[in-house]
Amino acid sequence: MCTDDEITTSPLVECVPNVSEGKNKRNIEWMADTIQNTDGVTLLHVDSNADANRTVYTFAGNLQSVSNAAFALFEVVNKTVDMRTQKGAHVRNGGMDVCPLIPVGNVTTEECVVEAKALGRRIGEMGVPVYLYGAAATSRPRQELSWLRKGQYEALEAKLRHREWQPDFGPTEWTPQVARSGSVQIGVRPFLIALNVNLKTKDVNVAKNIARKIRSSGFGGQKGEFPWLKADGWWMAGYDCAQVTMNFTNHHETPVHIVYERIRELACQTGTDVDGAELIGLIPLSAILTAGLYYAAQSGRIDQLSEKELIALAIHQLGLQSRHSFEPTERIFEKRLDSSRK
């Protein structure tokens, strides 16, 4: 675990591995302990969902330590997750499905790319295919994680036979190890916000149709309403409702609250409504404050509220406590980082 001085003086990198395990609590805790016991990093948050069968780990530290923690996590995942039997609502290519390195402070994107390639090489030497995406991608199509996910794990065996799908590191053929592990996607990207909006309906088609309208890729050759937004609709049995699941890849250009209110409008047009939102992982303070200012302006109180009150207003209006408690010191990145120093 990193000390206060290490967090303050070292280049800061966030890492948010997505693991295809959301049901086995013992293994989920084993993975969390592995991260937490790595020198130079602080585990900030663990978010598991049994329906998605996915756990998102958020940790931060200096670049080399973060890379070491990611590799240690991979080793545990490689022992515990068998993709031949893994099922869940979330799309996935492998056990340690996605592992992005995110430069936060005093570190460049280029430095993170160099380390992403070094991490990819280490994992590839374990007999697992590795694809680089985002700023680390080795070709234009591979910049998009959605392109790498075509067909998911089930298509990997056939994809490995084609030149365009050869991994950046690791085996190029289907082996027993690859059948068990699937592939690992390692990237370098900006801060991403993952948010799921609950709908007051069990009709997954409503969620899917809303997602097609709002996401940047659109549907059927027609562009969607918002740039920098990935979205889909799915069923969450644990919540007994359909959700619009989203990734905001640039929350400055496509603010969370604007999209949330648009989903509300589209849901009402179909005779239903939103029922709050579920944050996956952490959210930057700027996104919460921007939302708070938006809702404060609507009520004519924009000059009357403190930062704490703006945060509380945003949490309330976005329904971030509709399913789980939402503690700012635990779920807002900067505040969680500050609390870890104390």
CATH number of the domain where residue 92 is located: 3.30.990.10
Q: How many domains does the chain have?
A: 2
Q: Are residues 175 and 258 in the same domain?
A: no
Six-digit token string for 150? 């075509």
Q: Are residues 228 and 253 in the same domain?
A: yes
Structural domain harbouring 181: 4-188
Helix boundaries (H) for the chain: 4-9, 25-36, 63-80, 109-124, 145-148, 156-159, 176-181, 204-214, 256-269, 285-298, 307-317, 328-331, 333-341
For the chain, helix, strand, coil in percent to 5 are 40, 25, 35
Instruction: Return the CATH number at 312.
Output: 3.30.70.670
Q: Are residues 119 and 201 in the same domain?
A: no
Q: Are residues 149 and 18 in the same domain?
A: yes
Backbone angles phi, psi at 182, to 5 degrees: 70, -155
Domain stop point among 132, 165, 188: 188
Q: Are residues 298 and 276 in the same domain?
A: yes
How many CA atoms, within 13 angstroms, populate the side-chain half-sphere of residue 303? 0
Q: Are residues 159 and 266 in the same domain?
A: no
- Full pLDDT tens readout for the chain, 342 residues: 444 444 445 689 999 999 999 999 999 999 999 999 999 999 999 999 999 999 999 999 999 999 999 999 999 999 999 999 999 999 999 999 999 999 999 999 999 999 999 999 999 999 999 999 999 999 999 999 999 999 999 999 999 999 999 999 999 999 999 999 999 999 999 999 999 999 999 999 999 999 999 999 999 999 999 999 999 999 999 999 999 999 999 999 999 999 999 999 999 999 999 999 999 999 999 999 999 999 999 988 777 899 999 999 999 999 999 988 999 999 999 999 988 876
Q: Are residues 168 and 198 in the same domain?
A: no
Q: How far apart, in whole angstroms, are the C-alpha atoms of residue 62 and residue 53? A: 29
Q: Which residues are catalytically annotated?
A: 90
pLDDT of residue 10: 67
pLDDT of residue 5: 44
pLDDT of residue 8: 47
Q: Are residues 159 and 63 in the same domain?
A: yes
Q: Are residues 246 and 202 in the same domain?
A: yes
Q: Are residues 244 and 301 in the same domain?
A: yes
pTM of the model: 0.87
Q: Are residues 327 and 259 in the same domain?
A: yes
Say which residue the tokens 């075509």 belong to.
Answer: 150
Domain stop point among 146, 166, 188: 188
Q: Are residues 182 and 221 in the same domain?
A: no
